[in-house]
Structure 1
Amino acid sequence: MFCADGTYFYAFPVFFEAMLKDMEWSRAETAAALSIGIFVIGAISPLIGILVSKIGIRLITILGSVVAGIGFILLSTVTEPWQFYLYYGLILSLGIACIDLVPNMAAVGSWFVKRRSMALGIATAGIGAGGAVLPPLASWLISMYGWQTSFLFLAALATLIGVPISAIIMRTREEKKSISGEKQEKDVSSDRVLIEGTTIEQAVKGQAFWLISIGGMLWVWAYMTGLIHLVAFAVDVGIERVAAAGAVGLLAVFSIPGRLGFGRLGDAVDKRYVFMMGTFLQIVAFIVLMRSTNLTMLYIYSLLLGINIGGVTPILPGLLIDHFGKKYFG
């Protein structure tokens, strides 16, 4: 998740601003690539979940790392918007979908019962770490070598780090082989659905599935809109690009305590209330952004939205597992 989200999501605003200037495309034209990509990830995620259950997490994440590397290499050759949509919106997005939340959350969710939200928070802290490191690095690479060569650096990162980590660390685990939480699960819950899992057919017939899905969709839509245009917005109000990229990095840094804090809170109180608290922070963050005219205000926005992103990210999969069990979680 360090590589996947750090390169795909958090570094995108930096490349976005550089490509706008170089290619003379409109903002809507350029941002459409990420919109397509998010749609592709959402559409393909159920299939990835099925494949994770059928053939295992390790093979899926290795394949995803290779495809992501190919996507970044192709992006270094972009000259037309349609190429950007194909390489970023389709090819890279398919690779990222195979190494991001679905396989990782399925892996973590199957290992932990007690303190599951905390475990998910710790796991997703890699997203914050990647977001803290990679946007400033991308900004420096672009200033030194240009955005085309910088995409090649990201290709090397995705492949040379992603493939070995997937091969060495990622493992499928049968439910009966889970760590001690499996026995604890039978003691702490009399509801067999938590162990056996609700099927997809059963889940989509219930209100909870759609409320969680729509709530998650609206939350992602709001924060991604602010993230994509953050650097370009900051440059418009007179803030230097490197400083604006730093705001993206800080957003990711602030997401780490959000992940850990909300993860711990999600184990102590109803996750629905934790989600509501996170979305309230999002509202406040965008009010601050609308009034941002200097770097200080931009950093306050990064603080608030970072805690929101970090906090809600582990809560949503926790809600799904609580309602529908682990067996079909992917």
Structure 2
Amino acid sequence: MTETGRVAVMTAPGELAYQEYPVPTAAPDELVLEIARANVCGSELHIWNGKHPVKKRGGLGHEMLGVVRELGARRQVDNRGEPLAVGDRVVVTYFQTCEECFQCLQGDRNLCDRAYEFFAKQPEEAPHFHSAFATHYVVHPKQHVFKVPDAIPDAVAAGANCALSQVMFGISKTPLGYGATFLIQGAGGLGLNAIPVAKELGARVIVIDGVASRLEQAKAFGADHTIDMSEVTDVDARVELVRSLTDGRGPDVALEVTGVPAAFGEGLEHVRRGGTYLVMGNLSPGATVPFDPGYVTRKALTIRHVDRYEGRWLAKAIDFLAANLERYPFDHLVDAEFGFDRIQDALDQSLARTVTRAAVVLR
């Protein structure tokens, strides 16, 4: 009998069903994986609550760890050139890099025009397993894949893509360095991963969030100061508090990873004159905030919006984890685990912010 696998499918925002399909055979340039675990990233929550700009139906999940089930005849090594074998643990970019479109040829591979060619497919379309909230996953020819060293636990490796890779790539686009001050808006998965990246660069880190448990995690990851929005409820008061922690100037670099539009307007007030504002959390269409271009000009701000990351940064993320496993509590990033049949609970609790980072665990 043909073996079958299951895919969790959002039939409409907030509604989930499970579908069953035959487990595919790897094409020559593909890999077929068995999913070990997949995290609930903020992008899933944008999709789940109907605020994603494009995706209104289909498979969910992209931040995951997989185990090689089958290798295609021409897919015997990972993107470092390391040999792959059945049973190896791997991490994979959820998008592809086509190397043929305008953006790729310009060198902006993170903006590949065909990035979601496979991720966007509906599960009804073969080979069916295009997303990570599933029992299996097909790695297509132009997705980056990297073998995970034995020393990195499953729960830690799963977060390399996309949270850690994303913030490492984004921060690389800013002047953050030794002695700089760095403000992080939001202590979810992206925000917490950004702390050790900044600390290893020699920066001083301030974190703002409204959930006490997240701020405790931020401290554990090395945040120098935390600000609880539930206690400092006024924006002006938060701006003054941040200035008092940055010699009256404001941070050199700020990072928005809240997904809340109002955070963008607040962030502009926080950043010092001549500073840099890195925006990665807001992607829902139609949500607007008042914007004063003259204010930005007078402050001479640099605003960087970063979408996805270049595939090679996933390898850098794995190396970062291997080098810093003992220095930071990466193994505590996920604070709730759910079985495959409880994916809706994982999504709902993540959306309600009763958990910081949820994982769907299959083994």
Same fold (TM > 0.5): no
Higher strand fraction (1 or 2): 2
Structure ranking higher on relative contact order (CA contacts 8 Å, 6+ apart): 1
TM-score, L = length of structure 1:
0.26
TM-score, L = length of structure 2:
0.24
